[in-house]
A and B are shown apart, each in its own frame.
Chain A
Amino acid sequence: MIEVRGLKKSIHNGTNLVEILRGIDLTIPGGQFAAIMGPSGSGKSTLLGLLAGLDAPTEGEVILDGSPISRMNEDELAEIRGRKLGFVFQSYQLIPMLTALENVLLPFELSGNSHHSGDGRARATELLDSVGLGDRLHHYPVQLSGGEQQRVALARAFMLEPPIVLADEPTGNLDSHNGEHVLDLLLQRHRESRATLVMVTHDPLISARAERRILLRDGLVIEDTLAQEPIAAAEAHL
């Protein structure tokens, strides 16, 4: 479960203080798929970064599965990220000098396991196989297409079966065909693992598949709707 209380974030830009998030309160129950939407500059990516502990809020608190993370130091946060979070980025963010298999193995190795461990290797291989990359295990990112890279990233995100998966426009860099395929895989894995999935997206078709839609504007939540409610109002704001 993710709880957000009075979350604010400002940054110094030159001589100006820019308020990106101006006070967000949210609770996302375990297993829910929530889509965060909003126009550019509304604070979506910042909110996602704060949920992952990638950045520290100016005010407020983020609580992941009962653990408040906003005052944690970098190493504690790294531990939380490794244990509780999986991340899928718009631009894949694979490590270029590692092969597909090694990229998927990395979270496992970061948790103190050796890559020689048969368990980890078998799981990484099977994850890659399950996203259709069984014949691309030893390819480097540069040798893979965008869709393939994102599927490697997907496998990496689920390597340690985290309770929460955060995705930042995971199909934003892909064509519609590849994007749909990646989304299918992501949602399938979400359903199977019952992980909480929070996804930032611009795409109303994607958000339509979410159980919940959170609409941001100017750093505030202006709408928070569950899937059974009509989406026309939300779309009108986009």
Chain B
Amino acid sequence: MNGSINGSVNAPAKRTTGRALSSSVALRIAWREFEAAPAKFIFVIVSVAIGVAALTGVRGFTESFQKTLLGQARTIMAADVSARMFRQPSAKEIAGLNALQGVERTQVTEMVSMASTPSDPIPLLVSLKAVDPSQYPFYGAYKLRPAGTLREELSPERVLVGEDLLIRLHAQIGDSLKLGNSTFRIAGVIEREPDRMNSSMGIGPRVLITRQGLAESGLLQPGSRAGERFLMRLQPGASDIKGLHAQVEKVLPEAQVTDFREANPALTRGLDRASSMLSLICLVAMVLGAIGVAMSMRAHLEQRMDILATMKSIGARSSDILRIYLLQTLLLGLAGGLVGVVAGFGVEWTIPLLAAKLLPIEPSLRLPVRAGLAGLGTGMLTTLLFCLPPLLDIRRIKPNLVLRRQVETQPEFTLAERWQRRRMQWIATAVILIALAGIAAGLTNSLTIAAWFTAALVALLLFITLLARTLLRMLRTALARTRLSLPSAVRHGLSNLYRPGNQSTAVLTALGAGIMLILTVFLMQNAVLRDLQETLGKGLPNIFLIDIATDELDGVASLIAKKPGVHGAMERLPVVAGRLNEVNGTSGDALKQERVPRHLLQSVSLTWSDTLPAGAKVHAGAWWKPGDEGKVAVSEGLARRMHVGVGSTMLFTVQEQRIPVTVSALYANDGQHVFGRSEFILSQRSLAHFPVVWYGAVHLDTAQIPQMQRALFAAYPTVTVINIADLLDTVAGVVHQVTIIVRFLAAFSILSGLVILASSVASTRFRRIREVVVLKTLGARRARVAAVFGVEFTVLGLLAGCVGVIFANLLTFILLHRLDVTFHLQWPAAAAAAAGTALLAVITGWLVSIRILGQRPLEVLREE
């Protein structure tokens, strides 16, 4: 200590003009701060990492999962788009089909024919399906016995048949089968036909033949009644199913065009909802991460107030300090983002490996650089955005803090003054919202969803803040009246909520909003999955019975009802063959010019039902009353194509009798019941007196089906049975996978959210340090301090839980309403959420205070 400042010291460094702290110095200070106490930044990094991990993992996984599921949905039709017509296409139509860009195409011909074996000369009516095995099916695979593929087993000389053909013809694999002029060898049995539900429900057992084989058999003559199906697959990378659908309708105006989304509407709708659910999970993960980051950064900067004031007092401008902390924020965002991306990929890669049996998803082994960069970028951007408000507050730190820690309360400001004082904050908020909407749009690929999400989030945050404030005020009033009668630890704990600068409202809002989002994910997941299970639940028909005569109907129904393993009564569909003659007064050639599919003008299957059939839902108008006459309900898709609506008039003819009807309702089918393929349902009195054939549908335990088929064949040999049990199993499998994945990702997001919320509570630790020191200096035992904090955290947690529960239910109600799913209030979940939040707050609060409580007061102060 014998140094002295003397004249030998260098000449003072002079200030340069246009001064500003250089970025390298700012970066060094930012890094030093991080280096000095990395533990303090853990919460920020963890929040960002969890948000980014959820984004990367959930999004990446969702994409590959959706791809797999959509692939499975496509197997139900074996194609992306199918066009069915009842005549050979003209040269012009073929040219039109050839002109479609980026589309692969294969043709399937379906017709009814007679088949016989040398051992049983009585021929059997069979449902013939001619395909090109080198291309068909585009999606899905046949299951054959003996095991093999269509390419291997099907050749111009060989056919594949349904089990029922072997039963009926007493034949075996390897036997000969005569079809037209040719004799084929039965190469195997079809155990599963992926597009069975979308094939023509022809009469008789299935016989699968090559197109060359069909041509050589001479069965297909000009004028033969055959159904032609053109199956189309978009080349990889192309995704415009809608566009292709419209183009095909244009090229083949007479054809019935469907795309894979219509093949099983219930499944497609379920997948859509699951996708919405997964998008919601992504967005929630992002917002939760952002809340965590904002809370942690605010706490961090508050801790730095003295240092910031010192820097200002020795000449630092707000912009210099802002530069330091912006760089620090970016570093934290980068660190958290990198950890998150690695963790996200870990989730994406590990889960399919762990759950390989449940999820048929191949983990992508290539490094998804783009997804990684997107996750990293989103993480950094979100971090930066949500740190903006606390960073901007740096400008308001007064340098005189270095001289005195005076607690100066703010005078009341007018609205204009408030705007003036917090102008930058408001601008920052606007920037955050716009950027948030942008991120949301990127995540959901939809501007509308993003706009709705952001608007809803803002509205909810405003409401939550308002409610939080109101609750705190009410509590304060109650406290003022009762405080002297309360035990002192409770009184002290409650008073802590109003500790100067405690920001109870901010913590309450963050915690409440977090709980709201977490509970919303939970409630939505439950509702959507329950709905999905109900829609595709047990009891759906898995066998269809074709061509039942009216006098056989009751006999067939009672035979089936007596079989073991039957669920519910047989659904019945009467079919009357007719023609469409007029739509809204337009008939004949004029009608052909309209967008009416021409096949309807030649032949149309009409049916009746005076009540809404199972699986149908009215989308416009209303069903008529039993006994009404002259009414028709039209399937929604067809109505749109024909430009008819409720009140339109139509004229059908059946056996030359005119049946004028008025459109009473438009309906949509789930495609899984016997009415699933009906296009026109008339009032019973309009049709019941015509000759009718019946279709039936029922659910039987899969194991009982072969036995039932044999019994039915013995009693009613002309009734054809179509077994789609295997297909329903595929659908059930998809539902099962969706359920698992939504549950898993929701759980992941909920868990991440809880960690982030815990970090929000932990961020209040700094404020407690001095208080602990004072209390301990005054003689408070650790138990007393813990009790005071316990009361404070419990009340904070309970209030936040209540706020979160209220708004979660509100949000879920709105979202479910939009998804057309029924909302059920779940009291146990609500109570558990409120209590759980209190528990989370108390445990986290104690955990982060343990070290402070255990140390000597001055030790704590020195370290902090």
Contact between A109 and B25, CB atoms less than 8 A apart: yes
Question: A106 touching B311 by the CB < 8 A rule?
Answer: yes
Q: Given A96-B307, A112-B21, A159-B13, are A54 and B402 also a contact pair (CB < 8 Å)?
A: yes
Taking CB atoms and an 8 Å cut-off, the chain B residues in 11-37 that contact chain A are: 11-16, 18-22, 24-25, 28-29, 32-33, 35-36
Residues on the B chain within 8 Å of A11, using CB: 406, 408
Besides A119-B13, A132-B2, 6 new A-B residue pairs in contact (Cβ under 8 A), listed by A number: A85-B315, A97-B32, A97-B35, A115-B28, A123-B9, A134-B3
Query: Contact at A48–B12, with CB atoms within 8 Å?
Result: no
Q: Contact at B8–A126, with CB atoms within 8 Å?
A: yes
Query: How many Å lie between the Cα of A93 and that of B399 in the bound state?
Result: 12
Q: Are B404 and A45 in contact (CB under 8 A)?
A: yes
Partner of A95, one of B5, B24, B307: B307
B249-287 contacts to A (CB < 8 Å): none
Assess A159 versus B12: contact at CB under 8 Å? Given A78-B317, A81-B315, A107-B314: yes
Q: Is A211 an interface residue (CB 8 A)?
A: no
Interface positions, chain B 379-406, Cβ under 8 Å from A, are: 395, 398-400, 402-404, 406
B6 near A192 with CB under 8 A, answer yes
**Which of A74, A83, A140, A147 is most buried by chain B, counting CB atoms within 10 A of its CB?**
A74
A119 neighbours in B (Cβ, 8 Å): 10, 13
Whether a CB of chain A sits under 8 angstroms from the CB of B461 is no
Interface hit among A22-30, A60-68, A181-189, A223-231 = A181-189
- Chain B residues with CB under 8 Å of A126's CB are 8-10
- Which chain B residue shows the least CB distance to A92? B310
Complex: A132 Cα to B25 Cα, angstroms: 26
Interface residues of B (CB under 8 A from A): 1-16, 18-22, 24-25, 28-29, 32-33, 35-36, 306-307, 310-320, 395, 398-400, 402-404, 406-411
Q: Considering only CB atoms, which chain A residue lies closest to B19 in the complex?
A: A112
Q: Are A161 and B12 in contact (CB under 8 A)?
A: yes
Q: Are A113 and B16 in contact (CB under 8 A)?
A: yes
Task: For the complex, give the distance between the alpha carbons of A117 and B33 in Å.
Answer: 22
Please indicate the chain A residues that have their CB under 8 angstroms from the CB of B310 in the complex: 89, 93-95
- Chain A residue contacts of B16, Cβ below 8 A: 111-113
Is the beta-carbon distance between B32 and A89 smaller than 8 angstroms?
A: no
Q: Given A75-B319, A96-B36, answer yes or no on A12-B410 (Cβ-Cβ < 8 Å).
A: yes
| Contact across chains for A111 and B313 when beta carbons are under 8 A apart | no
Encode contact with B along A103-121: 1 for CB under 8 Å, 0 otherwise.
0001111111111010110
Q: Is the CB of A87 within 8 A of B313?
A: yes
Do A74 and B315 contact each other (CB < 8 Å), given the known contacts A127-B9, A188-B4? Answer: no
Whether B18 pairs with A112 at a CB distance below 8 angstroms is yes
Nearest CB on A from B407, distance (A): 7
A200 (CB) vs chain B CBs: closest residue? B403
A–B complex contacts, Cβ < 8 Å, 16 sampled: A52-B313, A74-B312, A78-B317, A79-B315, A81-B313, A89-B402, A93-B306, A102-B32, A106-B314, A111-B16, A113-B13, A114-B25, A117-B13, A126-B9, A130-B3, A130-B5
Complex contacts, B24 vs chain A, CB 8 Å: 114-115
Q: Given B7, B314, B402, B409, which contacts A192 in the complex, CB threshold below 8 Å?
A: B7
Question: Shortest Cβ distance from A86 into chain B, in angstroms?
Answer: 8
Taking the closest CB of chain A, its distance from the CB of B306, in whole angstroms, is 7
* Whole-angstrom distance between the Cβ of B397 and the nearest chain A Cβ: 10
Min Cβ gap B403→A in Å is 5
Q: Which residues from chain A contact B411 at a C-beta distance below 8 Å?
A: 12
Q: Does A19 contact B (CB under 8 A)?
A: no
Known: A54-B398, A129-B3, A188-B5. A160 touches B12 (CB 8 A): yes
Is there an interface contact between A78 and B32, defined as CB atoms closer than 8 Å? no
The chain B residue sitting closest to A181, CB to CB, is B1
Residues in B with CB closer than 8 Å to A54 are 312-313, 398-400, 402-403
A: residues with CB less than 8 A from B are 11-14, 45-46, 48-49, 52-55, 74-75, 78-79, 81-83, 85-87, 89, 93-98, 102, 106-115, 117, 119-120, 122-123, 126-127, 129-134, 140, 147, 151, 154, 156, 158-161, 168, 178, 181, 184-185, 188-189, 192
B315, A97: Cβ atoms closer than 8 Å: no
CA distance A106 to B26 in the complex (A): 10
CB atoms of A74 and B395 under 8 A apart: yes
Which residue on chain B has the smallest CB distance to residue A15? B409
Alpha-carbon distance A200/B1, docked complex (angstroms): 24
Complex CA–CA separation, A130 to B5 (angstroms): 5
A46 to B404, CA, bound (A): 8
Q: How far is the CA of A53 from the CA of B315 in the complex (A)?
A: 10
B408 contacts which chain A residues (CB < 8 A)? 11-13
Roughly how many angstroms separate A93 CA and B25 CA in the complex, as a whole number?
Answer: 19
Asked if A83 and B15 make an inter-chain contact with CB atoms under 8 angstroms apart, the answer reads: yes
Q: A12-B411, A120-B13, A123-B9 are in contact. Are A97 and B314 (CB under 8 A)?
A: no
Q: How far, in angstroms, from A87 to B309 measured CA to CA in the complex?
A: 12
Q: Which residues of A contact B4 (CB under 8 A)?
A: 130-131, 184-185, 188
Tell me the bound Cα distance from A76 to B312 in angstroms.
Answer: 11
Cβ–Cβ < 8 Å partners of A78 in chain B: 312, 315-318, 320
Residues of chain B within 8 A of A147, CB atoms compared: 1
Q: Report the minimal beta-carbon distance from A26 to chain B, rounded to whole angstroms.
A: 18
| Minimum Cβ distance to chain B for residue A47 (Å) | 10
Inside 8 A of B25's CB, which chain A residues have their CB? Answer: 109, 114-115
* Chain B residues with CB under 8 A of A115: 24-25, 28
Q: Which of A14, A98, A130 contacts B9 (CB 8 A)?
A: A130
Task: Report chain B residues within 8 Å CB of A75.
Answer: 317-319
Among residues of B, the one whose C-beta sits closest to the C-beta of A123 is B10
Shortest A117–chain B CB gap in Å is 8
Q: Is the CB of B407 within 8 A of A87?
A: no
Chain A residue nearest in CB terms to B397: A74
Is there an interface contact between A98 and B29, defined as CB atoms closer than 8 Å? Answer: yes
Bound state CA distance, A132 and B411, in angstroms?
48
Which residues of the partner chain A approach B12 to less than 8 Å between Cβ atoms?
A: 123, 158-161
Of all chain B residues, which has the CB nearest A48? B403
CA distance A134 to B25 in the complex (A): 23
In the bound complex, residues from chain B placing their C-beta under 8 Å from that of A151 are: 3
- Tell me if B317 and A133 are in contact (CB < 8 A): no
Name the B residues within 8 Å of A160 (CB-CB).
Answer: 12-15
Interchain CB contact under 8 A, B314 and A55: no
- CB atoms of B400 and A82 under 8 A apart: no
A112 contacts which chain B residues (CB < 8 A)?
15-16, 18-22
- Chain B residues with CB under 8 Å of A106's CB are 311, 314
- Which residue of the partner chain A has the closest CB to B320? A110
Complex interface: chain B residues within 8 A of A111 (CB): 13, 15-16, 19, 315
Q: In the complex, what residue of chain A is closest to B21 when comparing beta carbons?
A: A110
CA distance A148 to B10 in the complex (A): 21
Across the interface, name the chain B residue whose C-beta is closest to A188: B5
Q: Which of B3, B18, B32 gathers most chain A CB within 10 Å? A: B3
Chain A positions within 8 Å of B20 at CB level: 112
CA distance A52 to B28 in the complex (A): 28
B37 to chain A, nearest CB (A): 8
A114 touches B22 (CB 8 A): yes
Chain A residues near B314: list those with CB within 8 A. Answer: 81-82, 86-87, 106-107, 110, 156
Of all chain A residues, which has the CB nearest B310?
A93
CB proximity of B422 to chain A, nearest CB, Å? 15
Once the chains are docked, how many angstroms separate the CA of A78 from the CA of B402?
15
Which A residues are in CB contact (< 8 Å) with B19? Answer: 79, 82, 110-112
CB of B716 to closest CB in A, whole Å: 89
| Residues in A whose Cβ lies below 8 Å from that of B8 | 126, 130
Chain B, Cβ-Cβ closest to A160: B12
Q: How far is the CA of A129 from the CA of B6 in the complex (A)?
A: 10
A149 to B840: give the CA distance in the assembly, Å. Answer: 42
Q: Is the CB of A49 within 8 A of B400?
A: yes
B789 CB to nearest chain A CB (Å): 26
Q: How far is the CA of A110 from the CA of B20 in the complex (A)?
A: 6
Most buried by B among A12, A78, A188: A78
* A49 in contact with B320 (CB, 8 Å): no
CA distance A113 to B35 in the complex (A): 24
Please measure, in the bound complex, the distance between the C-alpha atom of A158 and the C-alpha atom of B399, giving whole angstroms. 19
Q: Evaluate contact between B318 and A74: CB separation under 8 angstroms.
A: yes
Name the distance in Å between A44's Cβ and chain B's nearest Cβ.
Answer: 10
